[in-house]
Amino acid sequence: LDIRLALTGFGNVGQGLATLLDRYGDTYLKRYGVALRLSGVADRAGAAVSLAGLDPVSLLEAKEQAGTVSAHSSGVPGLHGSDFLDRAQAHILVEAASTNFDDAEPGWSYVCGALERKMDVVLASKGSLALHFRELMENASRRGLQVQYSATVGAPVPSLQIADRALIGSEILAFEGILNGTTHQVLTAMTQGSSYDEGVRQAQEMGIAETDPTLDVDGWDAAAKVAIVANSVFGADLRIGDVDRVGIRGVTAAELAQARESGEAIKLIARAERTEAGVTAWVRPERRPLDDPLGRLRGDAMGIVFFTRPLGAIAATVDPSGESGGISTAMTVLRDVLNLARDRGWTEPHQT
């Protein structure tokens, strides 16, 4: 079965997706019986569209050579918004454009437009979820459509899948995680003697830093993620502004060294818990023992621990794979796309 994807944003994540479709497209066809085709790809200068599917390699070349996919042989300079969605005629919108936490654009308009056109949605950008979570989910469910967003919450840790599948029926009391790779990379680099600025630069070179690194270092990105996970697992309706937030700018090399001498590490911990008064969430630097599931992590590794009854604490952690952040995030976008295709009955049966 051909599945058409409309992709908005062709930066680290969008290009990662094109790279992976080139790498694994044939495998997915054989293994799952689905041909994932990019029927439209948009960046700031315009878009490329083809219902037969755009060749990922030639898209990457056009982007590299001309700086925009609209220079592709199927490119249309200035094509955006509703016109883009109409022409791409996709089954699924993959939203991977840069975002913000003021108005969530351009993602919010693309997501609403996609739902109006009966497209399912897979999100890499967090703005829409951090500002409009419940509205978005209700809109999709009214229309019988799916919104998947595992890439937004500390990809590639399968936090949402654990909560949704492995912990169904159990009580989740709280969860805490290292949900932001950039700040973790900076703290690890500072522990190893680098300056704060060097740590930020390393994260940018790895393709894991947000375009505007203040979103990472001041804890906004982690706050968005903890709100999104809390909304998903607790059925809460938190917005990013409801999360108490302290970033890592105040963490000093002396504090990191002192923690280490006591067998601990300072991590930017994001935590949410269900209390009698409702769901509360916060982000702040905290000390964790070096043998703790989160305290032992290094580099840009991420992880989450769910505190549950009666199963106890369940942790999932992912060590850096060596692939760029864009590739790892794109892999989790594909995970959502393939799971969505399976839920819809588009994949062939008896395949995993």
Q: Under the criterion CB under 6 A, does residue 13 sit at the interface with ligand NAP?
A: yes
Task: Based on the residue annotation, tell me whether 225 is a catalytic residue of this protein.
Answer: yes
Provide, rounded to whole angstroms, the least separation between the CB of residue 126 and ligand NAP. Answer: 6
The residue from 44, 260, 284, 296 that contacts ligand NAP (CB under 6 A) is 44
Residue from 227, 240, 248, 101 nearest 175 by CA: 227
Which residue is nearest to ligand NAP, using beta carbons? 11
Q: Under the criterion CB under 6 A, does residue 130 sit at the interface with ligand NAP?
A: no
# of chain residues touching ligand NAP (CB under 6 A)? 31
The residue from 59, 97, 119, 334 that contacts ligand NAP (CB under 6 A) is 97
User: Which residue, 7 or 341, has its beta carbon nearer to ligand NAP?
Assistant: 7
Q: Under the criterion CB under 6 A, does residue 325 sit at the interface with ligand NAP?
A: yes
E-strand stretches of the chain: 2-8, 35-43, 46-49, 75-77, 92-95, 120-123, 147-148, 171-178, 244-245, 264-275, 278-289, 302-309, 312-318
Residue from 220, 95, 228 nearest 160 by CA: 228
CB 26 within 8 A of CB 56: no
Provide, rounded to whole angstroms, the least separation between the CB of residue 163 and ligand NAP. Answer: 18
User: Which residue, 42 or 266, has its beta carbon nearer to ligand NAP?
Assistant: 42
Q: Please give the Cα distance from 342 to 349 (Å, whole number).
A: 8
Provide, rounded to whole angstroms, the least separation between the CB of residue 264 and ligand NAP. Answer: 28
Cβ-Cβ contacts under 8 Å for 304 (sequence gap 6 or more):
154, 157, 159, 162, 175, 176, 177, 178, 179, 229, 315, 316, 317
Q: Under the criterion CB under 6 A, does residue 55 sit at the interface with ligand NAP?
A: no
Cβ-Cβ contacts under 8 Å for 262 (sequence gap 6 or more):
287
The residue from 3, 7, 8, 157 that contacts ligand NAP (CB under 6 A) is 8
CB 261 within 8 A of CB 282: no
Q: Under the criterion CB under 6 A, does residue 124 sit at the interface with ligand NAP?
A: yes
In Å, what is the CA distance from 62 to each residue of 32, 41, 191, 201? 30, 12, 41, 27
Among the listed residues 63, 126, 225, 267, the single catalytic one is 225
User: Which residue, 151 or 269, has its beta carbon nearer to ligand NAP?
Assistant: 151
Residue from 107, 99, 155, 184 nearest 324 by CA: 155
User: Which residue, 80 or 184, has its beta carbon nearer to ligand NAP?
Assistant: 80
Q: Under the criterion CB under 6 A, does residue 9 sit at the interface with ligand NAP?
A: yes
Provide, rounded to whole angstroms, the least separation between the CB of residue 337 and ligand NAP. Answer: 15
Q: Under the criterion CB under 6 A, does residue 41 sit at the interface with ligand NAP?
A: no
Q: Under the criterion CB under 6 A, does residue 204 sit at the interface with ligand NAP?
A: no
H/E stretch holding 185 reads helix 181-191
- DSSP strand pairing (35-43 vs 2-8): parallel
Neighbours of 26 (CB within 10 A): 11
Q: Under the criterion CB under 6 A, does residue 65 sit at the interface with ligand NAP?
A: no
The residue from 58, 89, 98, 139 that contacts ligand NAP (CB under 6 A) is 98
Q: Under the criterion CB under 6 A, does residue 185 sit at the interface with ligand NAP?
A: no
Q: Under the criterion CB under 6 A, does residue 11 sit at the interface with ligand NAP?
A: yes
Query: Is 82 in a helix, a strand, or coil?
Result: helix
CB 150 within 8 A of CB 159: yes
Q: Which residue has the tokens 């108005």?
A: 103
Q: Under the criterion CB under 6 A, does residue 194 sit at the interface with ligand NAP?
A: no
Binding segment for ligand NAP (CB under 6 A), chosen from 33-41, 170-178, 235-243, 324-332, is 324-332
Single-letter residue type at 321: S
User: Which residue, 90 or 259, has its beta carbon nearer to ligand NAP?
Assistant: 90
Q: Under the criterion CB under 6 A, does residue 233 sit at the interface with ligand NAP?
A: no
Catalog residues that contact ligand NAP under the rule CB under 6 A: 8-14, 42-45, 68, 80, 96-99, 106, 124-126, 151-152, 155, 207-208, 210-211, 325-326, 329
Catalytic site positions: 225
